Structure 1
């Protein structure tokens, strides 16, 4: 009889544990996140998802890829998503148009430009002067990649409107295809496309816009001011998970990070992902913490102003909320 009682007791305990597990799963707070593109540039985000850091913080993250900053911001404004991962310049554009519910940058993911200059031919001793007289296939006008690109060109004494033929009317998703089809002598590309082109002999990386443009709040998580006030615990949990992922990426090898995030890049060889992660790590593109500091904010506006795309200067405190990031950094 004693063994029957023990068996019954073990069964009760097992059922209780299953019940508690089910309850905990059911209590996860769902958060809808929209990323502006799928990129190895966002490696810490995928690490947080794959390693279960969000779940550890009680969150269930529903990640959507919404091509284009304007479309991502539209989804945020219309409550299609709760949090947007997009260039910080979009929050300035929204503010300039007028809003009763400001968009707040609350956690920074990347801190440099993530694009590379790709030439059609191999150039062993590249000089920026070689862009003069060329056809340059740039990014969308008004977007951070294009503005940072023009900033770097001017830094090297190249006037984009006079010294080369600048093409920037091609949709973001089709830029790489246009170059592969023969358009342009140079193109500004994100990873992993730049490395894929190099591997396939379609183009060759000759320079990094990230190392040339300085620190910027290039990609940040943002949400409506009302959401951050009403869902402050959710925002804090989200930022805590992000900080854990940022630490992981900084501390672990590019090879380990590549293995973890490969499910998000199924058609790309893990060795190539490792190359890209190492490239971004070596040039300091991944933010080491989620705090968007004032110097970065001012550099962003300087780049926008240089490109003639700054609708109005916006004070740091107006659109940057560091409350969650500072707590997470501790």
Structure 2
């Protein structure tokens, strides 16, 4: 077993003095959970710890900060991480290459990406929405996290859904949301495929406009088919074989945290918890309004159940871009007790 017991070390003298009726602190199982540094998507993890939902299940949920799911998978191989968080495309490509992983439960239900264009580009199609607005991107530069990654595949699918050819645009690597937004506002690119807080920043600054928000169910049918289980918790199969009770307890704690977060009466306290963990830059206009929008969007995005049909959607998407060799069966990549 890979979990460690925690307790309060009491000397023999102290035990004798306190007597046999002294209450010993409850032992807790450690579970190491992957988190992306500085990402607001982890509100639920923060609540699990701060509100005691992990402790109620006999767990000590320890965050492990790693910038990518690939790094988290590598850490899991050396027992540095127990539970990983990422979109299914990353996880399923790893499974296709022979890494045995299983989804243990839902995280963010819908696709997290959005395509946003500069205000100048948006002005040319101000009265249009997806897919008609995409025509404004012909001959333009689209920023993505890295060439060949998921955001570029998303951009290509959005273009195809709008009837545009792939060679009608140019892709530029611009990194994550912060650097992508900076590149867009500096006119280094004309549009970006990214994720929160970009939509909120576009609305606050009016420097850009969202052309397609996939978290809201916009975009072509092949992208919508991946909704219902877009981002998930998963773990190595070997870990689950030895620690199924811990995984089950973790998902119960997660369910309680989601329930707590989605109760409007707890919104004010939830914002306080977020403020302890997440900061927007001082240069962000209307910082409080932007943060409120981010908190609301994130809370709304959490799911209670993993929709198995999302696996079929990812299979079709990954196969269409030749990112996996064959479809992956639901029963092989979803833990049998996943909600």
* TM-score class, shorter: 0.7 to 0.9
Q: Which residue of 1 aligns with 2:111?
A: 113
How many angstroms does 1:200 deviate by? 4.2
Cα deviation, 1:38-87, whole Å, max 9, x if unaligned, reads 43334323222222211111111111221123222222223221111112
Distance 1:87 1:194, change over 3 A: same
1:276 deviation in Å? Answer: 1.8
CA contact (8 A) 1:76 1:82 kept: yes
Moved over 4 A (4+): 253-256
| In 2, Cα distance between equivalents of 1:117 and 1:322 | 35
The aligned counterpart of 1:23 is 25
Find the partner of 1:309 among 316, 323, 326: 323
Q: Which runs of 5+ in 2 are unaligned?
A: 1-17, 282-286
Give the 3 Å change call, closer, same or farther, for CA 320–38 of structure 1 in structure 2.
farther
Deviations 1:207-253 (A, max 9, x none): 30222232152211111111112111111110001111222233326
Give, in whole Å, the separation in 2 of the partners of 1:319 and 1:189. 27
* Preserved contact between residue 106 and residue 232 of structure 2 (Cα < 8 Å): yes
In structure 1, C-alpha distance between the alignment counterparts of 2:253 and 2:318, rounded to whole Å: 31
Which residue number corresponds to residue 261 of structure 1?
A: 274
Kept in 2: contact 1:258–1:270 (CA 8 A): no
Question: What is the rounded CA distance, in whole Å, between the counterparts of 1:149 and 1:163 in structure 2?
Answer: 12
Q: 1:257 to 1:300 in 2, by over 3 A?
A: farther
Cα deviations across residues 159-192 of structure 1 (Å, max 9, x unaligned)? Answer: 3x2221122x444474344334432111122212
Q: Which residue of 1 aligns with 2:297?
A: 279
Secondary structure of 2:276's aligned partner: helix
Q: Distance in 2 between matches of 1:71 and 1:142?
A: 18
Q: 1:258 to 1:142 in 2, by over 3 A?
A: farther
Please say if residues 96 and 324 of structure 2, whose CA atoms lie closer than 8 Å, have aligned partners that are also in contact: no
**205-214 vs 249-258, greater mean Cα deviation:** 249-258
Contact 1:69 1:86 in 2 (8 A): yes
For the Cα contact (< 8 Å) 1:262–1:273, is it kept in 2? no
Deviations 1:12-32 (A, max 9, x none): xxx78x953x612xx121111
Aligned CA distance change for structure 1 residues 35 and 118 (closer, same or farther; 3 Å): same
Aligned residues: 301
Alignment-derived partner of residue 77 in structure 1: 77
Task: String of CA shifts for 1:253-282, please: whole Å, max 9, x gaps.
Answer: 65553333222213464542221233356x
Structure 1 window deviating more from structure 2 (194-203 vs 226-235): it is: 194-203
Q: Is contact 2:174-2:180 (8 Å) kept?
A: yes
More helix by share: 1
Q: Aligned pair in 2 of structure 1 residues 193, 307: CA closer, same or farther (>3 Å)?
A: same
Say which is worse superposed, 76-85 or 306-315, in terms of deviation: 306-315
Which residue does 2:15 correspond to in 1?
Answer: none
Superposition CA RMSD, Å: 2.9
Which runs of structure 2 are paired with 1:31-42 in the superposition (5 Å)? 31-42=31-42
Contact 1:105 1:320 in 2 (8 A): yes
Distance of aligned partners of 1:87 and 1:231 in 2 relative to their CA distance in 1, 3 Å threshold? same
Cα distance between partner residues in 1 of 2:269 and 2:163: 40
